[in-house]
Amino acid sequence: MTATYTAAIHTIKSKLKLSDEDYRALLMDLTGKSSSKEMSQVEQRKVRNHLQSLAERMGVAQPTRRRPLSQTEFDQVKKQTSPKERKLWALWHQLGRDGLVQNTSAQALNAWVQRQVGVTALRFCTSAQLDTLIEAAKAWQERS
């Protein structure tokens, strides 16, 4: 994993067009070490996240969804979803754990939603459509 972080750090460094002096100063400021190879995985993650946020603010990198959400970001996303949507997500992930769904991504769920109720995305579903989807997921689970 540390090789992955090192590669990501150097990729973002090149996108930001940082000079070697600036890069080393940034590392020293964040971790007290002048080389990414000397850092622990936690320190590398800290540097990578910092560089990624700089790159996003400067417009040289797209925001990444692979980064875990902070607690406040998670709370905001959770407030935007209804209890029925959360229930459907829980059922969808359980179907994945049971081996009935190979891809538990949002795109896969939205594709299934479109096939079931004709709505392009879960967030556009009405309460009645969500009830239909929840019952369909439960029935799918029971059939296995």
For the residues 32-49, what does the mean pLDDT come to?
89
Residue 129 has pLDDT above 60, yes or no: yes
The residue type found at 110 is N
Domain ranges of the chain: 2-58, 74-143
Query: What count of residues does the chain have?
Result: 144
Tokens of 116: 């079931």
Can you give the pTM of this predicted structure? 0.52
For 62-82, write each residue's pLDDT tens digit. 766 666 777 887 788 778 889
User: Range with the lowest mean pLDDT among 34-48, 49-63, 101-115?
Assistant: 49-63
CA angle 72, 73, 79 (to 5 degrees): 90
pLDDT at 62: 74
Tokens of 33: 């070490």
For the residues 119-123, what does the mean pLDDT come to?
90
Percent with pLDDT over 70 in the chain: 95
CA angle 89, 87, 116 (to 5 degrees): 65
